Amino acid sequence: MSSSINIIAFGRIAEIIGTSSRSFPHVATTNELKEFLNVKFPELKKVKYAIALNKKLITTDAAIEVSANIALLPPFSGG
């Protein structure tokens, strides 16, 4: 059985991937995840979004543990 990772998504990103929580095959790093998602959901290429690993924003490429909390975050607009 190949490992998978669970991803949560918010706002416009959740609209594009069609759900707010979903499993994908495991990829090794956040950059690889972005490439994978861009292929699977071409509309994502038009949207600015950030990745949070374990509730921390990722600013450079980072390794993804299978158990990581992965979140796709469009630009914030609270307040």
Partner 1 sequence: MEKKKVKNIFVEGPISAAFIGESIAKHSSNTNIGAHSIFLGQVRSDVLGENVVQSIEYTTYADMALEKMAEIREEIFAKHALTCMHIHHSLGIISAGEICLFVFTSSKRRRAAVDACTEVVERIKNELPVWGKEIFADKTHQWKENTL
CA distance 13 to 30: 16
CB closer to partner 1, 9 vs 37: 9
Question: Which range, of 10-18, 29-37, 38-46, 60-68, touches partner 1 by CB under 8 A?
Answer: 10-18
Positions in 16-55 near partner 1 (CB under 8 A):
52, 55
Continuous H helices in the chain: 11-17, 30-40
Instruction: Check residue 11 for interaction with partner 1 (CB under 8 A).
Output: yes
Question: Which range, of 25-33, 35-43, 58-66, 67-75, touches partner 1 by CB under 8 A?
Answer: 67-75
How far apart, in Å, are the Cα atoms of 21 and each of 14, 18, 60, 71, 79? Answer: 8, 9, 23, 9, 25
